[in-house]
Structure 1
Amino acid sequence: MSSDPWGRVDETGTVYVRTADGEQVVGSWQAGSPEEALAYFERKYEGLVVEIGLLEKRVKTTDLSAKDAHAAIDHIREQVDAHHVVGDLDALRVRLDKLVELVEARREERKAQRAKQSDEARHAKEALVAEAEELSQSDQWRAAGERLRALVDTWKGLPRLDRKSDDELWHRFSHARSAFSKRRKQHFAQLDAQREEARKTKERLVSEAEALSNSTDWGVTAARYRELMSEWKAAGRAQREHEDDLWNRFRGAQDVFFAARSSVFAERDAEQSENLKLKEELAEEAEKLLPITDLKAARAAFRNVNERWEAIGHVPRDARPKVEGRMHAVERAIQEAEEAEWRRTNPEARARAEGLTGQLQAAVDKLRGQIEQARAQGNNAKADKLQRELDGRQALLDQALKGLHEFGG
């Protein structure tokens, strides 16, 4: 008979295992020596140790459910309680009891985790609903629409809540999306109506623009095209499929008119530039008459230049003041020479000038005599008053003498 710390084999081949409750029959062994029997049942014990170790690892490191874990523990416990192995069965029971405690602890952890996840999911869905309800009033149709679609994807990725809570939040979420879709549909329906009205208005503007494209009434037509452009901008945009075509027709009609006007204006500008060159030459010819030494000859020469000037057409507007100013300067010089000649040769004007000078000279002489008399009498106040009157008359006399000198006097 052979034995070890955890089991023995009696003379009949019966194998026993030692436990805290005493020896328990493991089984019968008739195929070999007692050592071989114990070794066989010890290997079975080691198999249970390995199985418990693997189960402990699964419970600690995987998401094995409590139900499946308890089923596995019960299965191993049945084998332990059956006493068909040789080894420290009480130690296995202790490990199984601790494993039960671990499973229950993990169950509570998962329950708390699920409660936390549920709470987080509720807050997340409430936040999604609040944002969706805010977006339902937005007029940023594209951005808000894209954001609402993104919120739906986010919602789908969140865990479900209890049926009642989940249904209530989803109803609010869905209602917000529907409200936005309804407002957007109304907006674009109104926009379509506005664009149709814009299309009709622009059709009318295009027709008028095309009718005006061959006009040669340059100023009036150009002004009308500016008005048409203002009306075009005020009309708003038509539908995309019509807008570009209408604009091309509208712009094309203007281009025809303005190209024709530019061609005419280019010819006119070339002609006016040539006119300017001719008038500058005449202005230079007129300026050579200055200074005037022979009034009669200068007047005749200027008349000849001016006749040729008048025969020449328009010059560019920005150059007109300068070149005309040169001619006017010569004309004023001739006029001033004529006035001086007239004053010099007019006998009536000379007689009036001589008469006025004589009168003023007599008045000045008389005032001087009165001043001397007043001072001799000691009447300085009267003398000062007469002196001021004398100063005024003397100034007039000086001016009259200057005029008389111009007559050659």
Structure 2
Amino acid sequence: MSSAPTNTWGRVDDEGNVYVRTADGERLIGQWPGGDPAEAMSLYVRRFEGLEVEVDLLEKRLEGGALSPDDAGKAVTKARAQITDAQALGDLDSLLKRLDALQPAIDKHREQRKVERAAKVAEAQTEKARISEAAEKIAAGTDWKAGADKLRALLDEWKALPRLSKSADDELWHRFSTARTAYTRRRKTHFGEQSTLRDAAKVVKEKLIVEAESLSTSTEWGPTAGKYRDLMTEWKKAGSAPRNVEDKLWKRFRNAQDAFFNARDEANSLLDAEYEVNAEKKLVILAEAEKLLPITNPDAARKAWLDIADRWEEAGKVPRAKIGDFEARIRKIEEAVRDANEVKWKKTDPEKSARADDMIGKLQRAIDEVAAKIAAAEAKGDAKKAKDLKADKSSKEAFLDMAKKAQADYS
């Protein structure tokens, strides 16, 4: 048998036993009876190299942040067990030291994770409080259309956040869940009430349609148009019917109105053609009436106006498009005649003239009394009272001037 080969970290003895040297001494790691000791040595060295590669990889993964602290700790424990009892030939102690050197990094990483986790939890608590508050605002409102979508979006936000401590998470979830439940109940009640109201509106509108259709052939244009306005007011007050029938109901109601108003417009068009003759007559009367302006002789103007007014009424109606202009022009003349006669009456009204004289007398006596009081106050040296009395006297004198001017109108 050839002599047993050796290396720095182990040996193979003459009986084929393979030993590895560690800080604790030699340890039997295998046997190679009858075989080439060099091959045995090579096999166990390769096994060591495999362990060395695993330690290298573990160091790189931890340095690169590919492992969580817990996973790194498990990997180190597993590698340590493999190296401690390894049937491999090499510096096993150095591998164990390298594993020991990883522990501070793992601890540091674990502490960082702890800090990050605490920050995320604090942020999550703030966000969940915000979500709960937002849900409560929605629950207290009446946004029945968008509110449900907003609550679903808030729920998705909640699910994406990490859990808090059980008590904190339960408290906030209770607020959020309670708000969602309250909103859902109120929303359901609202739409239930809306459904009832829509059904009631449908009944009302069907009755209005029956009445509108019964009026559609009427030729009493004025009264019937008024009734249609009343029906429209009732239609709006009734509210909306269910969506699947609202448009159909409105179409029937509108068709009934259109039938009446189209017939009325057609009839009015025929009347307008007849009224054009009347318009020509009234234009002649207007030209005559406008010659009265400006009025210089109220009596003559009043006499002429009475004749013009009679002929104006006898001329009959004019087309609708001309009514406004014609009425404005004739009213202007009527008002001018009336105003001229009123001015004349005021100037000759003896009762008003007498009242004006009486007022002037009363004001003059009041002024004289105040003047006497002013003199008395000044004699006593009461400047303040004298000042107040003078102000009162000035006011009465102003009224006296106005009364004299009014009296002049009756003279």
In 1, distance between residues paired with 2:272 and 2:103? 108
Unaligned residue ranges in structure 2 (runs of 5+): 288-311, 331-411
Q: Secondary structure at the match of 1:142?
A: coil
Residue 138 of structure 1: CA displacement? 0.9
Residue 63 of structure 1: CA displacement? 4.2
Q: Secondary structure at the match of 1:8?
A: strand
Residue-by-residue CA offset, 1:174-198 (whole Å, 9 max, x unaligned): 1111111222233333333443443
Contact 1:58-1:64 within 8 A present in 2 as well: no
Residue 236 of structure 1: CA displacement? 2.6
C-alpha spacing 1:310/1:69, structure 2 compared with 1 (3 Å): closer
Question: 1:126 is matched with which residue: 125, 129, 150?
Answer: 129
- Determine the structure 2 residue equivalent to 1:382: none
C-alpha spacing 1:95/1:227, structure 2 compared with 1 (3 Å): same
Q: Does 1:246 align with 2:249?
A: yes
What is the identity, as a one-letter code, of the residue corresponding to 1:222? Answer: A
What is the identity, as a one-letter code, of the residue corresponding to 1:232? Answer: W
What is the identity, as a one-letter code, of the residue corresponding to 1:205? Answer: L
Q: Does 1:209 align with 2:205?
A: no
In 1, distance between residues paired with 2:286 and 2:154? 83
Unaligned residue ranges in structure 1 (runs of 5+): 285-308, 326-409
- Determine the structure 1 residue equivalent to 2:156: 153
Question: 1:51 is matched with which residue: 54, 67, 76?
Answer: 54
Residue 261 of structure 1: CA displacement? 1.2
Describe how 1:7-406 pairs up with structure 2 within 5 A.
7-60=10-63, 61-63=65-67, 66=70, 69-82=72-85, 84-273=87-276, 315-316=318-319, 318=322, 321=326
Q: Give the structure-1-normalised TM-score.
A: 0.62
What is the identity, as a one-letter code, of the residue corresponding to 2:52? Answer: V
- What RMSD, in angstroms, separates the aligned Cα atoms of the two structures? 3.6
C-alpha spacing 1:49/1:31, structure 2 compared with 1 (3 Å): farther
Instruction: Among all aligned residue pairs of Structure 1 and Structure 2, give the percentage whose two residues are the same amino acid.
Output: 46
In 1, distance between residues paired with 2:109 and 2:286? 113
In 2, distance between residues paired with 1:77 and 1:321? 114
Residue 321 of structure 1: CA displacement? 4.7
Aligned length: 300
Residue 120 of structure 1: CA displacement? 2.8
Displacement over 6 Å in runs of 4+: 277-284, 309-313
Residue 3 of structure 1: CA displacement? 3.2
In 2, distance between residues paired with 1:44 and 1:88? 12
Contact 1:24-1:83 within 8 A present in 2 as well: no
Residue-by-residue CA offset, 1:333-379 (whole Å, 9 max, x unaligned): xxxxxxxxxxxxxxxxxxxxxxxxxxxxxxxxxxxxxxxxxxxxxxx
- Determine the structure 2 residue equivalent to 1:403: none
In 1, distance between residues paired with 2:286 and 2:187? 74
Contact 2:69-2:107 within 8 A present in 1 as well: no
In 2, distance between residues paired with 1:221 and 1:95? 104
Q: Secondary structure at the match of 2:11?
A: strand
- Determine the structure 2 residue equivalent to 1:389: none
